[in-house]
């Protein structure tokens, strides 16, 4: 299981999912529009199965979103 959230530079949520099969396509989850080029921060809580049972790991980092459209 995962709990992935991607934030813009102002702390607004632009994407979130708990589905392992869903990937961020660069669109804002609320407006459906492509997000601006820039740096986005993500947090992800991952549950892993170990011999001792279920353990949780917190991950976080940055994603650099760059447009492939040269007119943008």
User: Does residue 9 carry a pLDDT above 70?
Assistant: yes
pTM: 0.84
Nearest to 22 by CA among 44, 49, 39: 44
**One-letter-per-residue 3-state SS of the chain:** CEEEEEECCCCCEEEEECCCCCCCCCECCCCCCECCCEEEEEEEEEEEEECCEEEEEEEEEEEEECCCCCCC
Average model confidence (pLDDT) for the chain? Answer: 92
Looking at 36-40, 53-57, 60-64, which range is the least confident one? 53-57
Residue 41 pLDDT level (bands cut at 50, 70, 90): very high
| Cβ 28 vs Cβ 14: under 8 Å | yes
pLDDT per position as a tens digit, 21-35: 888 999 999 999 999
């Amino acid at each position: 299981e995962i709990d992935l959230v991607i934030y813009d530079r102002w702390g607004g949520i632009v994407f979130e999912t708990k589905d392992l099969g869903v990937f961020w396509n660069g669109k804002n989850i609320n407006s459906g529009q492509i997000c601006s080029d820039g740096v986005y921060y993500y947090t992800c809580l991952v549950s892993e199965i170990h011999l001792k049972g279920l353990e949780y790991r917190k991950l976080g980092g940055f994603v650099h979103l760059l447009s492939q459209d040269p007119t943008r």
